[in-house]
Amino acid sequence: NPKEAAAGTIRADFAESIDANAVHGSDSAASAEREIAYFFAAGEICPR
């Protein structure tokens, strides 16, 4: 929620609402893995 975000953060500066924003954070590691696969092939992801 951009109204609850700290001033100066990307979410506070660029989001208009929870639905219309420039930032997304997955709710779990499993969700992140699934969502990342929508945008990147396995060979494009670098291990940390």
CA distance 9 to 35: 23
Catalytic site includes residue 17: no
Catalytic residue selected from 24, 29, 41, 47: 24
Residues belonging to the active site: 24
